[in-house]
Amino acid sequence: MTCHIHENHPHVHGENCGHEAVKHGDHVDYLHDGHRHRAHEGHWDECDGK
């Protein structure tokens, strides 16, 4: 799995955030504008979904 920090992302994902949540191994990705975000140590990563 390849993840990169998504800079300047003020939106906080979670229950009822309006984005689809997808279980991805040991974490949850949120589908946002055609890509996946996941919470990671106080920031959001871009996740490739693999």
- In this predicted model, what pLDDT tens digit does every residue of 9-42 receive, in sequence order? 667 778 888 889 988 888 888 888 788 887 777 7
Neighbours of 26 (CB within 10 A): 6
Measured distance CA(4)–CA(16) in Å, rounded: 24
13 touches 37 (CB < 8 A) = yes
For residue 11, the model assigns a pLDDT of: 73
For residue 32, the model assigns a pLDDT of: 81
Show me where the domains of the chain are located: 3-47
For residue 27, the model assigns a pLDDT of: 85
For residue 8, the model assigns a pLDDT of: 66
